[in-house]
Amino acid sequence: MSLPGQPAGQVIVLTGPPGAGKSTVARRITEYDSPSPTPCVHLPADDFWRHIRRGGISPYRPEAHRQNTVVIDVVAQATFGYAAGGYDVVCDGIVGPWFLGPFRRRSAGSGIALHYVVLRPDEATTVRRATARTGADALVDPVPLRALHRQFRGLGPFEPHVLDSGRMRPEATATAVLTGIADGRYRIRTS
C-alpha cells in the first residue's frame, strides 16, 4: 500500500555473488540511467549487516542463518517503505532466491512491483573482482567467494532472471537491467 496521495514506486532486487557488479550497476541505475522521472533510492543491503555491533556473524557462515533471516526481513521492510513513499528502489546485495520470501510477501500485500535480477559473471571473473577490493569489510577470501558463486548457479525457476555481466561494462549492464524491467522479464509475480 502506498502512502495517501503518493503513487508507489517499484522494487528492484539486484543480486548475485560478490564481484558481480551489483553496487556499481545499482549506483548507475539510480544516479544516471533511469529514464523514469520517479525519484530513486539505492539501498545497499550490506550496510544492514554492518549495523550489528556486538554478536555479529560473518553472513556467509552457516551459523549466521538466523541473523541473516532477521537482517533480510529488515532490508525488505526498508525497501518497501521507500517504495510505498513513491520511490523506485534498487536494493543491491546477496539476496538468493532462498531469501525472497519477505520481499514477495510485501509485494503481494502492497501491490508494489517486485523485480529480481541476478548478475552472474563466471566464477573466475567474480573472484578476480572481489579479491581486488580493499577495505576493512571487503570479503577477499577466495574460498567463501567461490562458495557464494556456486549458490547462484542452477537457480531453477529463477534462471530467466540471470544476466551474465562478465563481459559487459557497467553502463551496458544497467541498460540491460532497465530494458528487462521495462519488458517485464525480471518481474516476480506475487498474486
Three cell numbers, residue 41: 533510492
Per this entry, what is the length of the chain? 191
Quickly state the pLDDT bin for 138 (edges 50, 70, 90): confident
User: Per the domain annotation, does 124 fall within a domain?
Assistant: yes
CA-based nearest residue to 84, from 111, 115, 116: 111
Domain annotation covers residue 113? yes
Under the banding of pLDDT at 50, 70 and 90, the label for residue 6 is low
122 belongs to a structural domain: yes
What CATH number has the domain bearing residue 39? 3.40.50.300
**pLDDT class for 3, splitting at 50, 70, 90?**
very low
Domain hosting 164: range is: 11-182
The model's pLDDT over 45-96, given as tens digits with 9 standing for 90+, comes to 999 988 998 999 988 888 999 999 999 999 999 999 999 999 999 999 999 9
Given a cut of 70, is residue 155 above it in pLDDT?
A: yes
Contact between 169 and 35 under an 8 Å Cβ cutoff? The reply is: no
- Give the residue from 81, 78, 86, 83 showing the smallest Cα distance to 6: 86
Indicate whether 5 pLDDT > 60: no
Host H or E run for residue 130: helix 123-131
pLDDT-derived band of residue 158, with 50, 70 and 90 as boundaries? very high
Does residue 47 lie within any of the structural domains?
Answer: yes
The answer to whether residue 154 is domain-embedded is yes
Residue 2: the pLDDT is: 43
- pLDDT score, position 101: 96
Strands in the chain per DSSP E: 11-15, 40-44, 88-92, 114-119, 162-163
d(CA 165, CA 59): 24
In a domain, 4, yes or no: no
Does 6 map to a domain? no
Domain contains 5: no
Counted domains in the chain:
1
